[in-house]
C-alpha cells in the first residue's frame, strides 16, 4: 500500500514519554533549519558563498560563510519559540542566551552548525550535529550549568548530512531513524527506520597523516585495525573523508570504527565533547555500538568546558574496546 512517512508524522507518532508539545516542535524547528542549510549548501558552488568569512572562530580556525549561515539559521529559528532556555554552538565562545523579551523553555540545544569545514569549499560532504538536554534547575535555567551535562543525559541527538542527498538522522532513545530530504516535495521522508550497526564491520576511519603524533599503543591499535597483528584481527577497509558526520554515517550503515586519537603533546585530541562526540555517542549507543575516549564511555564524561575536546573512538563495540585494552597495557 502507498505510504509516505514524513518526519512530522514520525516525530509525532514516536514522542517519548517526557515530551510535551515543545519537544516535538523543537525537532520540527531543527528539521526546518536542516532544509534551509541544505538549500544553501546546494547552492554553494553557484553563489559567492564559498570561502572564508574573514573571521576566526573560538577554536582559532577560519570561519567559512556557510558555517556562519548555519549557525544563524539555528539561532534565529530557535531563540524566540519558548522551547529553549539556552544554546551552545561550536561557533560561539559563550552560551547563547534567549533574548529577554522571549520566554525561556525547558530544553537546551547544543550544536555544531556545520562540521567538516575543511570540506566546504571543495564540495565534499559536511554535516550538522545536535544534542538536546533538559534544564537542570527551573528557577535558574539558562545557565552554563544547563549546558555542561554528560551525554548520557541527552534526551535527543542527531545529525544532518549534506551529501549526495540530505539526510536527517536522530534518536530520542527509542532507536535511531534516518530521513532523506525529497527536494521536490520539500520534506524529510523516512528512509532508514531503526538503524543498527551491522556485523561484521566493514571500515575503519582514521587520519593516517597523524601517525607520527601517536603513542605506541595508538600505533599498535591502528596496525591491528589494518590487520597487522596476531590472533583474531578484524578485516576492514580504510575510508576517511575528514567530515565527522559523513564518516560516522557511512560507518553506521556499513559497520566500522571512526577514531580521532589523543596525540603526543595533545592528549585531548581534536573532537569536541559537547556538540560532536556526545551526540554521536548517544546515537551509536542506541544503534548497538559504543563510543569511548580510550579509557571509558564518552556518555559518562562530565563536561567542564563548552569547547572541551576528547580523544574519540566510535563504532562497533569490539573495535572500540580494543583501544581501551591497549591503553591499559601501555600504562
Tell the smallest beta-carbon distance from residue 215 to ligand AHM (Å).
17
Residue 172 in contact with residue 154, Cβ under 8 Å?
no
Nearest CB to ligand AHM, comparing residues 136 and 219: 219
Nearest to 205 by CA among 256, 145, 254: 256
Please state whether beta strands 203-205 and 107-115 pair in parallel, antiparallel, or not at all (unpaired): unpaired
Given the rule CB under 5 A, which residues bind Mg ion?
Answer: 112, 115
Instruction: Pick the binder of ligand AHM from 113, 116, 261, 278 (CB under 6 A).
Output: 116
Tell the smallest beta-carbon distance from residue 160 to Mg ion (Å).
13
Nearest CB to Mg ion, comparing residues 71 and 115: 115
In the shown chain, the binding pattern of residues 234 to 273 toward ligand AHM, with x for contact by CB under 6 A and - for none, equals: --------xxx-------------------------x---
Nearest to 195 by CA among 208, 170, 177: 177
Where are the alpha helices (H) located in the chain, listed in sequence order? Answer: 7-13, 21-42, 65-78, 144-147, 216-225, 244-254, 278-286, 317-330
Lookup result for grid cell 603524533: 213
117 binds ligand AHM (CB under 6 A): yes
How far apart (Å, rounded) are the C-alpha atoms in residues 272 and 265? Answer: 17
Nearest CB to ligand AHM, comparing residues 8 and 61: 61
Tell the smallest beta-carbon distance from residue 184 to ligand AHM (Å).
29
Nearest CB to ligand AHM, comparing residues 242 and 297: 242
Tell the smallest beta-carbon distance from residue 129 to ligand AHM (Å).
9
How far apart (Å, rounded) are the C-alpha atoms in residues 245 and 52? Answer: 21
Stretch that binds ligand AHM, among 26-34, 43-51, 101-109, 112-120 (CB under 6 A): 112-120
User: Helix 65-78 crosses helix 21-42 at what angle (to 10 degrees)?
Assistant: 160
Residue 128 in contact with residue 71, Cβ under 8 Å?
no
Nearest CB to ligand AHM, comparing residues 61 and 268: 61
Nearest to 124 by CA among 250, 35, 238: 250
Instruction: Pick the binder of ligand AHM from 20, 123, 183, 207 (CB under 6 A).
Output: 207
In the shown chain, the binding pattern of residues 184 to 203 toward ligand AHM, with x for contact by CB under 6 A and - for none, equals: --------------------
Nearest CB to Mg ion, comparing residues 224 and 275: 275
What residue 171 binds from ligand AHM, Mg ion, none (CB within 5 to 8 A, per partner kind)?
Answer: none
What residue 116 binds from ligand AHM, Mg ion, none (CB within 5 to 8 A, per partner kind)?
Answer: ligand AHM
What residue 242 binds from Mg ion, ligand AHM, none (CB within 5 to 8 A, per partner kind)?
Answer: ligand AHM
Q: Walk across the sheet containing 166-171 and list its strands.
A: 96-97, 84-89, 107-115, 126-134, 156-162, 166-171, 177-182, 187-192
How far apart (Å, rounded) are the C-alpha atoms in residues 194 and 67? Answer: 30
Amino acid at each position: 500500500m502507498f505510504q509516505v512517512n514524513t518526519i512530522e508524522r514520525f516525530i509525532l507518532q514516536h514522542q517519548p514519554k517526557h515530551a510535551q508539545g515543545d519537544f516535538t516542535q523543537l525537532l520540527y524547528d531543527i528539521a526546518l533549519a536542516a532544509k534551509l542549510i541544505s538549500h544553501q549548501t546546494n547552492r554553494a558552488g553557484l553563489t559567492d558563498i564559498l570561502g572564508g568569512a574573514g573571521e576566526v572562530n573560538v577554536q582559532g580556525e577560519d570561519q567559512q560563510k556557510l558555517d556562519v549561515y548555519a549557525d544563524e539559521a539555528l539561532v534565529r529559528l530557535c531563540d524566540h519559540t519558548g522551547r529553549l532556555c539556552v544554546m551552545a554552538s561550536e561557533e560561539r565562545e559563550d552560551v547563547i542566551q534567549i533574548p529577554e523579551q522571549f520566554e525561556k523553555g525547558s530544553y537546551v540545544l547544543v550544536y555544531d552548525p556545520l562540521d567538516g569545514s575543511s570540506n566546504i569549499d571543495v564540495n565534499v560532504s559536511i554535516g550538522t550535529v545536535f544534542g538536546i538536554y533538559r534544564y537542570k534547575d527551573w528557577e535558574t535555567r539558562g545557565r552554563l550549568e544547563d549546558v555542561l551535562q554528560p551525554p548520557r543525559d541527552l534526551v535527543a541527538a542527531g545529525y544532518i548530512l549534506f551529501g549526495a542527498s540530505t539526510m536527517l538522522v536522530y534518536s530520542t532513545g527509542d532507536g535511531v531513524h534516518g530521513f532523506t530530504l525529497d527536494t521536490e516535495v520539500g520534506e524529510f521522508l523516512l528512509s532508514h527506520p531503526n538503524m543498527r550497526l551491522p556485523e561484521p564491520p566493514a571500515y575503519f576511519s582514521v587520519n593516517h597523516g597523524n601517525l607520527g603524533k601517536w603513542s605506541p599503543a595508538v600505533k599498535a591499535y591502528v596496525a591491528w585495525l589494518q590487520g597487522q597483528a596476531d590472533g583474531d584481527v578484524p578485516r576492514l577497509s580504510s575510508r576517511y573523508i575528514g567530515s565527522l558526520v559523513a564518516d560516522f554515517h557511512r560507518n553506521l550503515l556499513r559497520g566500522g570504527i571512526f577514531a580521532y586519537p589523543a596525540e603526543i603533546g595533545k592528549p585531548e585530541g581534536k573532537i569536541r565533547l559537547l556538540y560532536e562526540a556526545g551526540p554521536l555517542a548517544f546515537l551509536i549507543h542506541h544503534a548497538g555500538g559504543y563510543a569511548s575516549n580510550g579509557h571509558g564511555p564518552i556518555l559518562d564524561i562530565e563536561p567542564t568546558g563548552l569547547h572541551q575536546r576528547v580523544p574519540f573512538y566510535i563504532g562497533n563495540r569490539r573495535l572500540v574496546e580494543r583501544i581501551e585494552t591497549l591503553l591499559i597495557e601501555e600504562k
